[in-house]
Structure 1
Amino acid sequence: MSILNALFLSRRPAAAFVVVGMFWGCFAAYVPHIKATLEVSDAMFGTLLLGSATGLVSSMWLAPIMDRWLGARALQVGVAFLAAAWLVPGLMSTPLAFAASLALVGLASGLLDVIMNARVSMLETTHETPLMNANHAMFSVAYGAAALVVAFTREAGLPPAPVFAGFAVLSCLIVSFVWMEVTDVAPDADSVNARYPLWPIVICGAVVLVAFMSEATVEAWSALHLERTLHGGAAEGALGPVMLGLTMAIGRFSGQAVAARWSEITVVIVAAIVSACGAVIAAFAPVPLVAYLGFGILGLGVSVIGPMGLALVGQLVAPHLRTEAIGRTAVIGFSGFFFAPVLMGVVSDAFGLRMAFAGVALLLLSAVPLALLIAKLPKWHKKGAGKAPTP
């Protein structure tokens, strides 16, 4: 299936991915400005970013309830809530208020994230075709485009608040478009008698954790690395998230095509090795141009790891457990937003950002043995477990 056909089939959740990507791309490019306004150390800023992680993880447990309650309107409510939540962080000038505002953002972003991923998984089952990478690619396109816009707004001296407000207005324009019917899935006899899929959730969640921790470190710290370690300007710093977003989009669109030819396990292994190489290049880059190359290679590789982890858990569990399984896999994955900011801040304070990004390379390589474990787990079939995903 072509990328355009995949996006047409999943156009409504894809629009939600665009909304989430716009806001996080805007935030990533404004990180140096926000950190300077708050006047905090690397370690403290990393701790403040835990605010978003708190909201994200909390939302994962609430999302299945919200999904059942709102049904076809869940995506609409999620988009509107996220647009409203992002109006707050740009107005905060004290560390505690900023952390609290990020908790609200994390809650809204997490709710929308679980629901839109569950909708894509539902469409994958309905149409029997991979769609996850194409949708995550739309997040990356929006992320890179928003960061590019911020490169200009920062050079013009605009503070974050009006820029976040502009993206909120754009988001509200698509609310009516994301109304989407939901297929109710009742458990059959095989589903009722089957064991709860604990290990698929845990192991796939660990793969998503590796991907999201790596993405979070680059999103939050690439601009600082370029501006402080490599002495780049504001526009050069903002281009770090731009490079990540654009190459992740290319990687995910390519992953959509590759997923039709290679197994998910093979894709995860190759992607982990490629992205680790990119992290090493970015860590030891002598000038911003080489760092862009490293972040670009990292983005190409890491782009497909998270979507593949979510797609795999959707294949490994019974249909009526899909939203819950994806939500709990995302809980594990998004817990990376707990660890990544703090670890990067602590390592950066102790050893510098170069060593912190070198640590990201080691983290990415840990996805290889995890993928091999997933290859041993059986996919779900109506009449019992079938063969495992092939490596």
Structure 2
Amino acid sequence: MSILNAVYISRRPAIAFVVVGIFWGCFAAYVPHIKAHLGVSDAMFGTLLLGSATGLVSSMWLAPILDRKLGARALQAGIIALSLAWLIPGVMTTPLAFAIALMFVGLASGLLDVIMNARVSMLETQTGKPLMNANHAMFSVGYAGAAIVVAFTREAGLPPAPVFAGFAVLCCLMVPFVWMEASDIAPDEDDAKARYPLWPIIICGAIVLVAFMSEATVEAWSALHLERTLHGRAAEGAFGPAILGITMAVGRFSGQAVAARWREINVVIVAAIVSASGAVIAAIAPVPAVAYLGFGILGLGVSVIGPMGLALVGQLVAPHLRTEAIGRTAVIGFSGFFFAPVVMGLASDAFGLRVAFGGVAMLLLCAVPLALVVARIPRWRKKGASETPAPI
């Protein structure tokens, strides 16, 4: 199946992925400006970022409830909430207020994230086609595009608040195009009596955790690494997140084609090794150009790990548990936003950003044994179907 066909089939949730990417790309490129404005250390800034993580993880438990209540308007409500939430952090002038503002951002972002992933998983079941990588690629497109725009706005001296407001208006204009009915899947008697699929959620969640934790560290700290460690200018720093977003988009669009031909487990293993090598290159880079190469290789590899972890759990559980399972898997994955800012900030304060990015490489390699464990878990099947594990 072509990439364009995959995007067309899932065009409504794909718009939501673009919206989430736009706001986080804008934020990542503005991190050096925001950190300097707050006047805090690396460790303190990492702690402040826990605000978004708290909101993200909290939202995972609310998302299935809101999805059922809002139905076809769930994606629309999520985009509006996220657009409004991002108006707050850019005007906060104290660390505590900034952290509280990020809690609202994380809550809105997490709600939209779970719902849009559940919609894609639903479409995958309905069509029998892999769609997750193409949609996550659309996140990367929005992320890279916003980071590139910010490279110019920062050079022009614009503060974050008006830029976030402009993006908020743009994203709200997309709301009419994301109205989408959710299929109401009722479990049959055998499905309802089945044991809750705990282990698939835990293992797939750990794979997503590795991916999202690695992404979070690079998104939040790549611009600082380029500007402080490698003495780049503001525009050069902003292009760090942009390079990551562009290569992640390329990797996810490529992963869309690869997922139709290769076993997902093999892709995750290769991707983990490739992305770890990119983190090493970024860590030892002597100049920004070499760091761009490292971030690019990292983006290509890590891009497919998280989407495939979410897609796999959708294949391993009964249809009526899909939204809840993806939400629980996302809880584990987004808990990386708890650990990544604090660990990266402490490592940077103690050893410098070069050593911290070396730690990202070691983290990425943890996805290899986790993928091998998932390979042994059988896919969900109707009662009476073969119980042998399908090649995933």
Same fold (TM over 0.5): yes
Q: Name the structure 2 match of 1:346.
A: 346
Task: Tell me, in whole angstroms, the C-alpha distance in 1 between the residues paired with 2:388 and 2:31.
Answer: 46
Moved more, 287-296 or 375-384: 375-384
Correspondence for 2:106? 106
Deviations 1:94-148 (A, max 9, x none): 0000000000000000000000000000000000000000000000011001000
Q: Would the alpha carbon gap of residues 334 and 385 (structure 1) be closer, same or farther in structure 2, given more than 3 Å must change?
A: farther
**In 2, Cα distance between equivalents of 1:385 and 1:303:** 33
Partner of residue 46, structure 1 = 46
* Contact 1:37/1:93, CA 8 A, preserved across alignment: yes
The Cα shift of 1:388 comes to 2.5
Aligned amino acid, residue 307 of structure 2: P
Query: Residues of 1 paired with 2:97 and 2:258: CA distance?
Result: 44
Alpha-carbon separation, structure 2, partners of 1:141 and 1:295: 16
Q: Where does 1:1-391 land on structure 2 (aligned, <5 Å)?
A: 1-383=1-383, 386-390=387-391
TM-score, structure 1 length as denominator? 0.99
CA distance in 1, matches of 2:387, 2:364: 29
Counterpart Cα distance in 1 of 2:287 and 2:266 = 33
Q: In 1, Cα distance between the equivalents of 2:223 and 2:22?
A: 17
Could you give the per-residue CA deviations for residues 290-341 of structure 1, whole angstroms, max 9, x where no partner exists? 0000000000000000000000000000000000000000000000000000
Question: Contact (CA 8 Å) 1:374, 1:389: kept in 2 or not?
Answer: no
Query: Over residues 243-273 of structure 1, what are the superposed CA-to-partner deviations in whole Å (9 max), with x where a residue is unaligned?
Result: 0000000000000000000011011000000
In structure 1, stretches of 5+ residues that fail to align are none
1:389, 1:162 → 2: CA distance?
51
Change (3 A) 1:192 1:385: farther
Judge conservation of contact 1:265–1:389 (CA < 8 Å) in 2. no
DSSP 3-state at the match of 1:93 = coil
Q: How far 1:189 moved relative to its partner?
A: 2.3
SS of the residue 2:306 aligns to: helix
Aligned length: 391
Contact 1:378 1:385 in 2 (8 A): no
Tell me which amino acid in the other structure corresponds to 2:73: R
Distance in 1, matches of 2:239 and 2:71, equals 39
| CA deviation after TM superposition for structure 1 residue 389, in Å | 4.4
User: For residue 325 of structure 2, what is the amino acid of its counterpart?
Assistant: A
Deviation at 1:386, TM superposition (A): 3.5
Distance in 1 (alpha carbons) for counterparts of 2:355 and 2:64: 39
Q: CA RMSD in A?
A: 0.7
Partners of 1:117 and 1:349 in 2: CA distance: 36
Cα distance change on mapping 1:232 and 1:85 into 2, 3 Å: same
Q: Name the TM-score, length of structure 2 as normaliser.
A: 0.99
Structure 2 Cα separation of the partners of residues 258 and 190 of structure 1: 34
- Whether the 8 Å CA contact 1:22–1:139 is kept in 2: the answer is yes
Percent pairwise identity? 81
Runs of 4+ in 1 over 2 A off after TM superposition: 384-391
Q: Compute the displacement of 1:385 (Å).
A: 6.5
